[in-house]
Amino acid sequence: MLEVVPSQKTAFYATGIEIPGKNEDDIVLKAYKLLKKDFSKILFAFISNNFSFDIKSAIDFGLSEPEETETTFVGNARIKAHYASKKTGMPCLADDSGIEVESLNGAPGVFTANWAETPSGRDFNQAMEKIWLEVQKTTFQKPYKAQFCCTLVMAWPDGHDEIFEGVIKGCLTWPVKGKNGHGFDPMFIPTGYEETFGQMDRWEKNKISHRGLAFANLIKNCFIKEI
């Protein structure tokens, strides 16, 4: 039996989500959508398989992405989630994420993707080299501490939202190692491990990644699966 457990602010029955009778073996939530089409597909597949979600994307609703004008992960995630919720009239989930480097005063942070922008598209190899060179200009010594951050915001049609965060701490290494993952994974070694995210099996990485931790918080606070 799958039981939906509202968190303190959540009112599932008040938001138009379709929930069958209590005697049903499964509760199917049909009102969810994701703002970004590439938003952590593996993790959403896990949630879909375990909680019977019918997940929709921005493309399904013909939505464009709003401009991200905030200077924090939670601020930008809120912009995206509330924009989608207002447009669809449904509860919507959005994220913002990036890497923060201690010696760079938290940069790139919310501008993580911008550091990879080139005239011909995003180049994360160039972005990783840029970060490493900028770190070398500082007075900091090894280990060069960094952390990946992910903030999920669930926005509801009544205007309230809920926040779920995940942070994985680690350090930077050079030269980069591994071809798995994406973005800055090949230069990031999570604390307690010897391999970079780029060297890890994707399933192992997802268990400890910033997105994995954020989703764990989402599930823990909103949903319980009883056996």
Give me the active site residues, please: 96
Q: Is the previous residue joined to 108 through a cis bond, with omega within 30 degrees of 0? A: yes
- Around Cβ 64, how many Cβ atoms within 10 Å? 8
What is the rounded (10 degree) CA torsion for 73, 76, 80, 83? 140
**In DSSP terms, which residues pair with 162 in a beta bridge?**
154
Residue 188 near residue 148, CB atoms below 8 Å:
yes
Distance CA 28, CA 25 (A): 10
Q: How far is CA 33 from CA 4, 6, 37, 99, 209, in A?
A: 17, 18, 10, 25, 22
Token pair in block for residue 66? 């709003």
| Burial of 219 from C-beta contacts in 10 A (0-12 / 13-18 / 19+) | middle
Taking each helix axis from N to C end, the angle separating 41-51 and 210-222, rounded to the nearest 10 degrees, works out to 20
Q: How far apart (Å, rounded) are the C-alpha atoms in residues 70 and 127?
A: 22
